[in-house]
Structure 1
Amino acid sequence: MMNLQFSRHRRLRHTETLRRMVKETSLHVDDFIYPIFVAEGDNIKNPIASMPGVFQFSLDHLGEELDEVVRLGIPSVILFGIPHEKDAIGSQAFHDHGIVQEAIRFAKDRHPDLMVIADTCLCEYTDHGHCGVIENGKVLNDPTLDLLARTAVAQAKAGADIIAPSNMMDGFVAAIRYGLDEAGYEHIPIMSYAVKYASAYYGPFRDAANSTPQFGDRKTYQMDPANRLEAMREAASDVEEGADFLIVKPALSYLDIVRDVKNNFVLPLVAYNVSGEYAMIKAAAANGWIDEERIVLETLTSMKRAGADLIMTYHAKDAAKWLGGAK
């Protein structure tokens, strides 16, 4: 035989038990945050065509969804609202009895230990579909901050455990932190969408939340997908302003950004596995082109490996079942 010197990496892959012992990244049901769309009205359980398995729920159907989430051991949900009425400033977002506020009360009453996160934005509530106040066709930054702070306070008052602002206005974390503290909610953490790109991967979400802009796009406030250093500037600002968690959105095409944020900041990091990423897997699985369970778990594991501490994902219920999370 040839007298060769080389490393035998396969030794640590020889059996399933050995592979488990040396696994570097583990996925657990405790990692998941499950998004839920809550619609104003009664007897609503509307399937979202572009997101198979995801629905809009009215409050009278929300309980069954929350019960399943808890039974599967998923520790947290994030609520997105779909109101009956919309106006220029999204006033239903900060109304004490807005749909998300009512859903928060319902969820905390039914499952007090479930961690309820409130998405804090205006786009689902404005008649123009943008995330802020409009003047002469432009989204105004500073006048929007007051509305975001009012929304966060209304959500905290309803019982939200975490406020998650997603609008990408400059100074939004500072404004919300100030508003919460002034209202006596200094204990409520902020899970900031610190790094949010102007992505085509959001298409199915906009169907689900009825939040497509009626004119233009969101490129003046969401980030250019080509930019990497800008993400560090955005995250640094939110850390300085008082964020308690940082979110990178989307996740799958931005795993380099997830790793960059993880390497540069010490706050818990959330990867948002967005609607378009979910829809692509569901479509391929429906056509028999992929093994859905393996692809989903591999995809979510990649986000953990890149540095995410938590994953916001529409796959959460399925992944929890595959990981054995049902009680």
Structure 2
Amino acid sequence: MSSLILRRRAAIAAGLLLPFAGAARAQLPDRPVRLVLGFPPGSGPDVVGRILAEGLREHIPAGVVVDNKPGAAGAIAAQEVARTAAPDGTTLLFGEVGQLAMAPSTYARLPYDPARDFAPIAEVAAVDFAFVVPASVPADEFAGYVAWAKAQPQVFMGTFGAGTPGHFGAAILANAAGLRSEAVHFRSTGDAMAAILNGNVQGMFGTVALVAPHVTAGRLKALLVTGPARSPLLPAVPSVSEVNQPALAFDAWFGLVAPAATPAPVQAALEGAVLRALAAPALRARMQEAGFRVAAQGREPFGARMRSETARWAEVVRATGFRAIE
């Protein structure tokens, strides 16, 4: 078959698809879309959510606004979208792993059900963690740290709150390495960072973007990153596979979900708008510079990710003996 015929057929196919693409866009809301975000301005979810919102404004004609509703580790925002938002595409939750996969196991009475109350729209981005220790700890690599920590009566692990990825990462590490450790939960990122920098705790999982400047300046040592490969922000730090710690492979991910009753054509239109926004090189560069990996997964793969992560973290929570938050 000649290349000319192939090109003609491709052009015909593209022409046939144009009406369908236009129909999908027609299902977008005719009022501004509100992204409800359960964390304060300047937090990691807020940074990536606002980058996405700026990109979406080119693809959602009515506009996009970010509405921060912090509190209860994101549960307040998730409950609002699940319980009171109209299922018309105008109100979406910009959620993260804690709200959408961990909360069913970490809350005794969660005021929403991620699997029942939300329809996945798209996974947007993910961020890896680094295990960091104070510069005063006499170990420069992971095996040396484990040997040192085992020789201590007890080591303290800082976290950004009970029931967070960093909390469970520390529990997984203690179990895998056989450490006598105790988690110290801080109420703010600043308090947790001050504790690790001052040597008041002897280990912590922090997002790569958060800890990288301190590692580069020599104030902290990074012993591994939790992603499948080394991070561009910490290229000298080995991944979990390099230190033979597969149980510590975890990340924090972020995505958009809609109220479950949102019509499928509206879900599809929103999914298309998000994926088009995430394809823009400038947006991808901004996210990568901020330390995030662009995911750009649509409804089906994001839904599968939510289900698999919910099952995975349920097992971790049970194994750690964590008591559900009332």
Is TM > 0.5 for Structure 1 vs Structure 2?
Answer: no
Query: For the pair shown, which has the larger CA radius of gyration, 1 or 2?
Result: 2
Greater relative CO, 1 or 2 (CA 8 Å, sep 6+) = 2
Higher helix share: 2
TM-score (normalised: structure 2): 0.31
